Amino acid sequence: MKNYQTGQIRNLGVVAHGGAGKTSLVEAMLFNTGILSRLGRVEDGTTTSDYHPEEIAKQVTIHTSLVPCEWNGVKINLLDTPGFSDFIGEVKGALRVSDSAMFVVSAVDGVEVQHEVIWDMADEYNLPRIVFINKMDRENANFERVLDDLKSKFKANFVPVQIPIGSFNTFTGVADIINGTAYEGAGKGNETSIPAELADDIALYHEQLIEAAAEGDDDLTIKYLEGEELTPEEIKDGLKKSIALRKVVPVLAGSATRNIGAAQLMDFVAGFLPAPEANEGNMSTLVFKTIADPYVGKMNFLRVYSGNFKSDSTVLNSTKGKTERIGNVLFVRGKNTMATDSVPTGDLAVVVKLQDTGTGDTLCDKDKPVTLEGIEFPTPTLTVAIAPKSKNDEDKLGDALYKLLDEDPSMKVEKNSEIKQTLLTGMGELHINTMIEKLKRKFGVDVVVADPKVPYRETIRAKVEVEGKHKKQSGGRGQYGHVWIRFEPCPEEDFVFEEDIFGGSVPRQYFPAVEKGLREALLEGVLAGYPTTGIKATLYDGSYHTVDSSELAFKIAASQAFKKGALQAKPIILEPIMSVEVVVPENFMGDIIGDFNTKRGRVLGTDQVGHLTKIIANVPLSEMYRYAIDLKSMTQGRGSFTMEFSSYEEVPARQAEEIIKRAKAEAEAEK
């Protein structure tokens, strides 16, 4: 693959809801260039962009694939992205480095959830976009219905530039409104005249096209408003400008699996979509994706934003403040690679085996440091606990998780010391399952998956005074520690220790031992073994033996006092309460509030966020571990949520009984 100038490059994020056929469309585009001798099929696991084992097994796109092709003297970098919400982080990374987005929409199913989610994402990056209405050869395909669907769902000026000839069994080709030409059959097709039955549609859309073109240029706007006719060249130039300014969204149509309309789509992409901004200054690049390849090593996918990125050079990772030695630089097409000496401004490439560089990092000239805007990945919301299956797995798990985190910034790993579990958090069930499969396939690590434990706490509600005495005599020096301790609730603090000793009944030297004994005892509460919090302990009396007393004896006496006192002081179990914010379309608000009521939640209020509604609530953590799945089900994937710890509150009596019963059963099982 030769090096192209910046003006000859098109970076196109190919996005869709799962099942719309974008991977098949990318395959057809590649086939038309002559790179492929036959069209691969998603069902057979033979497409260029879905080449990872987990993608072949599940028949869905999981990773963004970089698939460049050359057409009409232009290099089109296709970024084939996942269509399922669990892998939305991959879409975010791809759109960050794209100059345009192509929405692939099924002619049968119309606009679906992920189209709406990704449309908002494309708005964040101010991306020009086009729409390809796919599957015109399927039963119930309807171009006009989908066009109306697009117009009703999105605030944009959708204008067809190519329309289908027929549908389902009568679908034979596409009519080009710009050139006034029809193309029958696969590939480039046979050029022919536009069917007479389409004449009225062509006239209507041609007028819309001229109006859209005129909006892109002030001179053309004036000419159009004064009733003058625009020349074909003016229409094309104006349309290019209108697309770049996001004043129009061109709509095209076809069938990816039959390769009808794909070549005409490529003509349009090469001829009308914007090239990257030319910036020949000092070198700067952004890493938008990382793969931990078991054979090649770490692969960083990057876009060059200025200057030339060269192999065999030393660069600065300005994000982390470290230098990196650049060895091989590769152009990739799916899993195939080709070495290159340099990558021009605007192009995408891969560099391998960097030590400290990860997704979102900037690589730049050492002498001219610059840090590009990174990538804000979505917050993962579904958590499971994982544990190694064997000792061998235990030894490898940490390193494997580190590599997995490097590859996927939309996951999170936490070793929680309180509940003694390793927690893996992802975007959904499919995401979690894929990560666990990767651990085994790529890194040879088997794990057991369980529900996370809830970090309950215990506390007291009454004030008590208790005695703790440890006395042991077995010949020679004995052990003697004797304390009286007052325990009382102290909600503002985890633990407060004070002494109020008069007359030296407990010598000062043993105060630290008493406090230590209490702190250790607090780690295991008297009801269900959870840490005790919100308690004040005052040492106010006791006695000692001049020979037998020791720090250990007073430590044990204090521990005994706690166990006795906590039981007498009306102990209760506390649960973590989370502050939850859910953002959904307004029509789902009632379902969300009703569901929170079943989860023992308290709705605190609602707020408008653009065209969406935010619901704010306090909900017990024990009810929230599977909420990512519940929310997806309730809103057909249109909702999102965040949560953070708010406070600890008393568990209702019925739930407390269940918690205590479960804790005792677990303790018995461990014996």
Q: Is residue 297 part of a domain?
A: yes
Q: What's the burial of 386, exposed, middle or buried (CB within 10 Å: 0-12/13-18/19+)?
A: buried
Q: List the domain range (segments joined by +) for residue 608.
A: 574-654
Mean pLDDT within 399-408? 89
pLDDT in tens, 596-605: 999 999 999 9
Question: Of 512, 541, 569, which residue constitutes the final position of a domain?
Answer: 569
Give which of 364, 370, 311, 374 is closest to 337, Cα–Cα: 311
Count of the separate structural domains present in the chain = 5
Q: Is residue 205 part of a domain?
A: no
Instruction: Specify whether 417 is located in the same domain as 515.
Output: no
Instruction: Specify whether 324 is located in the same domain as 409.
Output: no
What is the pLDDT, as a whole number, of residue 424? 95
49-58, 194-203, 230-239, 403-412: segment of lowest average pLDDT:
49-58
pLDDT in tens, 336-369: 889 999 999 999 999 999 999 999 999 999 999 9
Q: Is residue 1 part of a domain?
A: no
Radius of gyration of the chain (CA): 33
**Is the alpha carbon torsion for 354, 359, 365, 366 positive or negative?**
negative
367 contacts: CB under 8 Å, gap ≥ 6? none
Average pLDDT value for the chain: 93
Whichever domain contains 623, its CATH number is 3.30.70.240
Q: Is residue 542 part of a domain?
A: yes
Instruction: Specify whether 107 is located in the same domain as 185.
Output: yes
Residue 475 has pLDDT above 90, yes or no: no
Instruction: Specify whether 262 is located in the same domain as 130.
Output: yes
160-174, 286-300, 455-469, 548-562: segment of lowest average pLDDT:
286-300
Instruction: Specify whether 445 is located in the same domain as 492.
Output: no
**In 224-283, beta strands by DSSP E:** 249-253
DSSP state of 212: H
Give which of 527, 598, 23 is closest to 257, Cα–Cα: 23
Residue 477 has pLDDT above 90, yes or no: no
pLDDT in tens, 601-625: 999 999 998 888 999 999 999 999 8
What are the start-end ranges of the H helices in 408-529? 429-443, 511-522
DSSP state of 474: S
What is the pLDDT, as a whole number, of residue 36? 85
pLDDT in tens, 207-255: 999 999 999 999 999 998 988 889 999 999 999 999 999 999 999 999 9
Instruction: Specify whether 565 is located in the same domain as 578.
Output: no
pLDDT in tens, 411-453: 999 999 888 899 999 999 999 999 999 999 888 999 999 999 9
Instruction: Specify whether 525 is located in the same domain as 581.
Output: no
Question: Of 450, 472, 504, which residue constitutes the final position of a domain?
Answer: 450
What is the pLDDT, as a whole number, of residue 53? 76
What is the pLDDT, as a whole number, of residue 145? 97
What is the pLDDT, as a whole number, of residue 47? 84
Residue 517 and residue 503: Cα distance in Å, rounded? 23
Question: Of 550, 569, 588, which residue constitutes the final position of a domain?
Answer: 569
Instruction: Specify whether 148 is located in the same domain as 264.
Output: yes
Are 448 and 381 in contact by the 8 Å Cβ rule? The answer is: no
pLDDT in tens, 59-107: 888 889 999 999 999 999 999 999 998 999 999 999 999 999 999 999 9
Report which of residues 27 and 39 the model is more confident about: 27
36-40, 44-48, 49-53, 113-117: segment of lowest average pLDDT:
49-53
Whichever domain contains 446, its CATH number is 3.30.70.870
3-state secondary structure of 480: strand
Residue 284 and residue 401: Cα distance in Å, rounded? 30
45-59, 262-276, 301-315, 513-527: segment of lowest average pLDDT:
45-59
What is the pLDDT, as a whole number, of residue 417? 87
Q: Is residue 49 part of a domain?
A: yes
Confidence of residue 540 (pLDDT cuts 50, 70, 90): very high
pLDDT in tens, 265-324: 999 999 999 999 988 889 999 999 999 877 788 999 999 999 999 999 999 999 999 999
Instruction: Specify whether 643 is located in the same domain as 519.
Output: no
Is beta strand 447-450 parallel, antiparallel or unpaired with respect to 382-388?
antiparallel
What is the pLDDT, as a whole number, of residue 60? 85
Instruction: Specify whether 519 is located in the same domain as 561.
Output: yes
Instruction: Specify whether 182 is located in the same domain as 253.
Output: yes
Instruction: Specify whether 480 is located in the same domain as 507.
Output: yes
Q: Is residue 371 part of a domain?
A: no
Whichever domain contains 305, its CATH number is 2.40.30.10
* pTM (predicted TM-score): 0.88
